[in-house]
Structure 1
C-alpha cells in the first residue's frame, strides 16, 4: 500500500489496495474498492460479472431453483420457514413480500436496530410490519454499543461497523433458536458492486468467509481486545458476554444442526435492481422515499434508516477516494438507467459531499469532539489517493 497509514493495523482492507488509482471504462467505479478486479481492458469485475454475465443467465431456470430451495424448507404447520433480515428498507421489504405473497412462504423478519433511527426509517419499518409481517427488533446494550461504535470509528474508520456485525449475525441466531434452516438476504454485494470473484455467482456464502469479506479482516474479540489495551473508555468491566452474543454468528455446529448453509441471496435467483425494488416496495409495503435528496448522492430511497449512514459513506470516501454517488451511479450504468457520461457528472457533483444534517448526532453518540472526528478522519487519507493543497485536501485522481 502506497501510504504511511497512521492508525493501527485493524483495517486490513487498506493494505491490499493498488498504488495507482484507476476508474472503470464502462462504469465509474474505482479500483480502490476492496476486492475489485480490473481486467486488461480496464473494465471492473462488477461490469463483467453483473452487467454482462447476468444478461446471459436463464432467469426462468433460476426461479425454478429458488422454488426447489423454498420447497425444501417450506413448512405446512403454519410455523415460520425462512428468516429475512429486514430494516423496512426497499430491498428487504421486496424480498420479504415476494417470499410471502408470491412464493407462499411464511417469513419471520428480524431487525438489528440502527445506531439512531431516522424518522423516515422508523416509519418505513412500521409500514413493513403493517404490510403483513411478524418482526423481531433487537436493540443492543446501548452503553457497550456506543463504545464499540467509537472504537470502530477510530480503528476501522467506520462507526457503522457495529451495525454490520449485528445485521449479519442476529438473523442466524434467531434461525437457530426457532429451527429455521433458511436465512434469505437481498443482493450479493460482491456480485452487485464488485468483489471477491469466488462468491459472485453463488446462491449463498458460508460463515467461514464472512470475516474477510464483511468484517474488515477482524473478529469482534480482536477489536475488543485492542480497545481494552489501548483505549481509556473501554475496560474489561464493560464487557458482558451475553450482551455480545448477537455481534458474532452462531457456531458452525449450531448452524449445521439447524441445517443452515449460510447467507442466501435472493438476488441470485432474480435479476437485482435497486430501482425496481423501490417501486415494488412503495406499491406493496408502503415504503416511502425521503422528501429531499440524500446527502452524498442524488437518490432519495436508499439507506434511509440510520442517522449515521451518511458518515459511514463519507468515511468510505475518505478511506478509498470514492463515495456513495460512485456506488449508486455505477450500478445504474450497469442496469442501463444512466450513461457513463451522466454518471461522471453526478459523481463530480455529489461524491464526497459532507453529511452535515446528522453530524452533531454522530458526535454526541460517540461522545467525541469535532476536532477529534477530523483527526481520525484525516488519518485515514492514503497518500496515493489524497494530496494536501494548503489547508485543504484534494483527490489526486478524479473520474473522467
Structure 2
C-alpha cells in the first residue's frame, strides 16, 4: 500500500478517522476553503456562542461561568485569555499536572505563567506510581504511552465540573477541522470527544487497570453518562468560534504573554516551531512511534496548518515532511526508557512491532523506505 495525501495539503490517508471527499480533499482543506471564500457565517457562530455563554452563566452554581481545560501551553493560554478578556467570562482553569519525574521545568513555568496572568486554577496531580504503572502498560499494550494519561487529562475537568457544579466546559479545537480526524460532529459540540481514537469511550481498558485498586483510577474515567446528564454538563470546542484560531496564531499570542518554547532543532524533535507539547518531552517519543505506525508525525500537522496560513506552498511543506517528520533524538528515548524502567532493547522491540508493513519496506541496503505518493 502507498500512502496517499490530500490533494491540497499534507494530510495522509493513514490518519485514523480521516475523511477525504470524492476529489481527494480532506475536511481541513474544505473548512479552510470556506474561510477563504468567506462562506462561514461568523456572526451566526457568535450568536450561537453568546447563547451558550448565557446558558453557562445561568446554570452555574458558583461564581465561575465556565471551566477551561489547560496545560499552560499555547492553546490553553489563548483559550483562557479569550474566555476572560474577549467573552467577559469568569473561568475556572482546570489542569492535570504530570508527575514530577515527567514534568519539564518549561511546563511548570508555563502553567505558573498562565496562572500569574490572573486566574483561579485547580491543578490535580494523580498518584505517580499508578500513573507510571498504567503508562507502562499503555506502552506495551498499544505502543502508545498516552493511552492512559490522556484519559486523565480529558476526564479530570469533567469530574471537577460536576463536583463544583459548573456545567459549561471548554476544550480547544475540533480535531476534524484542524487535523482532519473526525469522530464526532463538525461544529462546536465536543460531547463526543471521549470517543476519539485514544480515549476509546472514556473508560480505561481492563488490561490497563488489572490489579489496581478501583479507587486509584477514578480520575482516568469519564463520569457515567447519567451523572453528566444529571449535572447538565455541556462540552464545547471554543476554537470553533474563534476566527483566528490556529496552533501557530495561538503560539504567537501566547509567546507575547510569557510562554516559553523549545529551542531544539527540528532534526532532534520532529517539530518545526517548538511550540507544541511543552510540558514534557515524552510526546516526542510517541510521535516517532506514530510515524512507524501510520507514516506521519507532528510535522505533517504543522505543514498542513502552515499551507493554509500561507506560510509555505504544498511543495515546500512536503519537503519539510520528508526531512523532519518522525524525528526523535536518542536522548529522549533513553530518558523515556529510564522513566518507565525498561531497556532500550524492550523499547525498540515494541516500536518495531507496530511498524506498518503495508507502508514500509527495506531497500537493497536494508534501510526502511516509507511508501508515500507525494503527488
TM-score (norm 1): 0.86
Q: Answer yes or no: is 1:68 the counterpart of 2:51.
A: yes
1:249-264 mapped onto 2 (5 Å cutoff): 249-261=222-234, 263-264=235-236
Secondary structure of the 1:135 match is strand
2-structure distance, mates of 1:103, 1:177: 24
Cα displacement (A) at 1:378: 0.5
The equivalent of 1:3 in structure 2 is none
Cα displacement (A) at 1:288: 2.2
Q: Answer yes or no: is 1:273 the counterpart of 2:246.
A: yes
Secondary structure of the 1:155 match is helix
The equivalent of 1:290 in structure 2 is 262
2-structure distance, mates of 1:217, 1:376: 25
Q: Answer yes or no: is 1:43 the counterpart of 2:43.
A: no
Identify if the C-alpha distance between structure 1 residues 264 and 384 changes in structure 2 by more than 3 Å, giving closer, same or farther: same
1-structure distance, mates of 2:61, 2:52: 18
More deviation, 63-72/246-255: 63-72
The equivalent of 1:98 in structure 2 is 82
The equivalent of 1:372 in structure 2 is 346
Q: Answer yes or no: is 1:336 the counterpart of 2:310.
A: yes
1-structure distance, mates of 2:90, 2:74: 19
Cα displacement (A) at 1:92: 0.7
2-structure distance, mates of 1:286, 1:36: 35
Matched-pair contact (CA < 8 Å) for 1:149–1:160: yes
Matched-pair contact (CA < 8 Å) for 1:51–1:335: no
Cα displacement (A) at 1:343: 0.4
Unaligned runs of 5+ in 2: none
Matched-pair contact (CA < 8 Å) for 2:65–2:91: yes
2-structure distance, mates of 1:54, 1:312: 32
The equivalent of 1:312 in structure 2 is 286
Q: Answer yes or no: is 1:195 the counterpart of 2:195.
A: no
Cα displacement (A) at 1:345: 1.5
- Give me the CA root mean square deviation: 2.1
1-structure distance, mates of 2:185, 2:126: 30
Matched-pair contact (CA < 8 Å) for 1:32–1:321: yes
TM-score (norm 2): 0.91
Matched-pair contact (CA < 8 Å) for 1:307–1:361: no
Secondary structure of the 1:105 match is coil
Cα displacement (A) at 1:121: 1.5
Identify if the C-alpha distance between structure 1 residues 103 and 39 changes in structure 2 by more than 3 Å, giving closer, same or farther: closer
Matched-pair contact (CA < 8 Å) for 1:316–1:323: yes
2-structure distance, mates of 1:342, 1:223: 44
Secondary structure of the 1:184 match is strand
2-structure distance, mates of 1:358, 1:270: 35
Q: Answer yes or no: is 1:53 the counterpart of 2:34.
A: yes
Identify if the C-alpha distance between structure 1 residues 93 and 313 changes in structure 2 by more than 3 Å, giving closer, same or farther: same
Secondary structure of the 1:53 match is helix
2-structure distance, mates of 1:29, 1:280: 26
Deviations 1:298-335 (A, max 9, x none): 11212211121101211110110011111110122123
Deviations 1:142-183 (A, max 9, x none): 112111111111211211222211111000000000000100
The equivalent of 2:92 in structure 1 is 108
2-structure distance, mates of 1:287, 1:245: 32
Unaligned runs of 5+ in 1: 1-18, 229-235
Q: Answer yes or no: is 1:129 the counterpart of 2:115.
A: yes
Q: Answer yes or no: is 1:156 the counterpart of 2:139.
A: no
Matched-pair contact (CA < 8 Å) for 1:38–1:45: yes
Secondary structure of the 1:174 match is helix
Deviations 1:200-228 (A, max 9, x none): 2x211325x62354425784143326xx4
Secondary structure of the 2:236 match is strand
1-structure distance, mates of 2:76, 2:202: 26
2-structure distance, mates of 1:85, 1:134: 12
1-structure distance, mates of 2:247, 2:78: 10
Cα displacement (A) at 1:391: 4.4
The equivalent of 2:106 in structure 1 is 120
